[in-house]
Amino acid sequence: MRLHNYAMGKWIAGKGEGQPLFDASNGETVAIAGSEGLDFEEMLHYGRKVGNKNLRKMTFQQRGLMLKTLALYLLERKEKYYEVSYKTGATKVDSWIDIEGGIGNLFANASLRRKFPDLPYFVEGEPIGLSKGGTFMGHHILVPKEGVAVHINAFNFPIWGMLEKCAVNWLAGMPAIVKPATLTSYLTEVMVQDIVDSGILPEGALQLICGSAYTLLDHVHYQDVVTFTGSASTGIQLKSNPNIIQEAVPFNMEADSLNCIILAQDAAPGTPEFDLFIKEVRKEMTVKCGQKCTAIRRIIVPEAYIEEVQSQLAKSLASTVIGDPRVEGVRMGALAGKTQLAEVKDKISQLLQHSELVYGNLDQYEVTYGDLTKGAFLVPILLRNNHPFENKGSHEIEAFGPVSTLMPYQDLDEAVELSRMGKGSLCSSIVTYDNDLARDYTIQAATHHGRILVLNRESAKESTGHGSPMPLLVHGGPGRAGGGEEMGGMRGVKHYMQRCAIQGSPTTLSAITQQYQYGGKYLEDVKHPFKKYFEELEIGETLVTHKRTVTDADIVNFANVSWDHFYAHTDATSLEGTPFTQRVAHGYFVLSAAAGLFVDAAKGPVMLNYGLDECRFTKPVYAGMTIGVRLTVKEKVKQEKRPDEDFEKGIVKWLVDVYDETGETVAIATILTMVKLKG
């Protein structure tokens, strides 16, 4: 079967002989891959002119719902992907991480839409006043870049690698060209076929290259974004492309690294933490046959426990059933291919110049199911480096397979130093039940690791484990790990957007941001805003209320109702040395009184109070003072209609500006209401 590339809205088979791809367990030919004949420059041009145009005009809410719809669609077809995934050497558990973990990224980023406005662009941070009179101010906006996200992915996660990146750039409003590693690209192609057939994505949002793409980066430009996952050496080579440098193309590199796990001094043999440690190391050595960029490569343990750790790990690894992942009972499959097997064995040979082999065998071993001569099988290999400060190969050489090295330490400072000797990693873990120790390690080691997991009896039940990057957290690391960051919630989305500082009057910036900026002109109407439907409300529309004079009785009654008898509200004799000159009204009374002034009591489009975003009490309110309210439409976010609802709705954010008889603001807040759409 010849794989097809998806370019410029068409499925195109590569020309020429192509590259044969093999089943990792039995050596049978799975497909022929090739990209010869593709015009990479034209693909990029198409992505910018068609895909980018279609995505950037959609709002964050529309893009988020698109991700959710796609996730549900792919989840219904997941069994198809499992059947193909077995050919990569992955077990059912391995495939679950790749397939359902990848789809989970779509769901997670779909939910992230709630943190963004109902606009194609994003307003970031707080407004910044730039003048005394308040007529000149600044703000920041982020708009989707006008290019293409180019993703060059590794062989170990042909689905997750695509979806965890694409989910973010699609939400940001950018299309993607996906270049999976050719070795396992046949699995990526199967899913892309379904994505294209679904019709859920707009035209041009996704293109696929299943073969070589050596000249692709020669045609990217400054509006494009390139992300790479793979070996550090390949990443450096790609990042050094003259065109990448000349065009200043953002290049995010997430490279394989020498991740480590620390067994803390308190986690002695016999404790729950010791058992968790053994279980975690075994899992990270055998899941995906150790072919994970986050896998544990260095096992750092107290010198007093190293013999017991070695014994327990060997016993645990010996129970691992190895073979063809399609056979029931197999717990570790094959490496992705024979070339990968040869490379891992070569790296092990290099590591053996610095360490001794304490479990496993490179020359004579058996698998329970499968043919060693045809499959790319390897047993777990455990090495031991008794002098890790002198024998530095363990911190420099990575065997990308089921291989890890034990090394001892004397105290926490040594453990931290050993963790740093990997020169930057994606992840480090520490297993401890001592929170002070966990804090000390984290603060000292955080400079050298993109993520730190603290594992103990409390977190273990629900912990996703050492090797599991989460879509709403940063995935990346310094130094050897590439210095990049993927995913990371809103931060990840912003990677595909251009940040721009904007300056002008509050009224002008209100119009640009579609968020009312304090000090901007008010739009007043005789009709009460609570009588208006969502579509009828305008940004900047303001209700100026009647006024109310606060009395001593108000303060006393609110104290009795709320049970808030704080001395400043109830005891005039205790005010010496405080900012108050007399009993002060409760801040929440002021806010409640404000609501009494601006709320329209009759039933109307406003359905409920949805919450409070922010609130500040800026000036004391005493009995005898008179307050009024300016209620302004600050922002509007349309919500999706649920299946069990017979109405559409949106969230309206209101700026509540409470002021006194002098005109000074005494309290300012942002409240949210749920408002019906007129439909």
| Residue 370: predicted pLDDT | 79
592 contacts 655 by C-beta, under 8 angstroms: no
Please report the DSSP string for 244-310 in residue order: HHHTT--EEEEE---EEEEE-TT--TTSHHHHHHHHHHHHHHHGGGG--TT-EEEEEEEGGGHHHHH
Which CA distances in Å does 363 have to 338, 349, 377, 379?
15, 12, 12, 10
Cα angle 635-641-642, degrees, rounded to a multiple of 5: 130
- Per residue in 310-364, pLDDT tens? 999 999 999 999 999 999 999 999 999 999 999 999 999 999 999 999 999 988 7
- CA dist., res. 616 & res. 621, Å (int): 13
* Domains defined for the chain, CATH in brackets: 40-256+491-498 (3.40.605.10), 259-464 (3.40.309.10), 522-676 (3.10.129.10)
Considering 293, 398, 485, 486, which one is annotated as catalytic?
293
Stated length of the chain: 679
Considering 254, 280, 284, 485, which one is annotated as catalytic?
254
Tokens representing 157 are 């996660």
Nearest to 189 by CA among 257, 337, 87: 87
| Residue 559: predicted pLDDT | 97
Backbone angles phi, psi at 325, to 5 degrees: -65, -15
- CA dist., res. 291 & res. 495, Å (int): 27
- Give the type of residue at 292: K
Mark whether 210 is an active-site residue: no
Please report the DSSP string for 652-664 in residue order: EEEEEEEEETTS-
Tokens representing 62 are 């529309």
87 contacts 24 by C-beta, under 8 angstroms: yes
Q: Would strands 176-179 and 149-152 be described as parallel, antiparallel, or unpaired?
A: parallel
Which CA distances in Å does 138 have to 75, 143, 415, 523, 613?
44, 16, 47, 22, 22
| Residue 396: predicted pLDDT | 96
- CA dist., res. 444 & res. 447, Å (int): 7
pTM (2 decimals)? Answer: 0.93
- Per residue in 193-217, pLDDT tens? 999 999 999 999 999 999 999 899 9
- CA dist., res. 235 & res. 587, Å (int): 56
Number of neighbouring beta carbons within 10 Å of residue 10: 10
| Residue 371: predicted pLDDT | 82
| Residue 367: predicted pLDDT | 84
- CA dist., res. 145 & res. 44, Å (int): 14
Q: Give the up-direction half-sphere exposure of residue 509: CA atoms within 13 A in the CB hemisphere.
A: 26
* Mean pLDDT per 10-residue segment, the chain (679 residues): 95 90 94 94 98 97 97 97 96 96 96 94 96 96 98 96 97 98 97 98 98 94 96 92 96 95 98 98 97 97 98 96 92 94 96 96 82 91 98 96 98 98 97 98 97 97 94 94 91 96 97 95 95 96 97 97 96 94 97 96 94 95 98 93 85 97 97 93
Tokens representing 104 are 């989970």
Q: Would strands 206-208 and 225-230 be described as parallel, antiparallel, or unpaired?
A: unpaired
- CA dist., res. 522 & res. 575, Å (int): 39
Backbone angles phi, psi at 312, to 5 degrees: -70, -35
What kind and span of H or E run contains 452? strand 452-455
Mark whether 293 is an active-site residue: yes
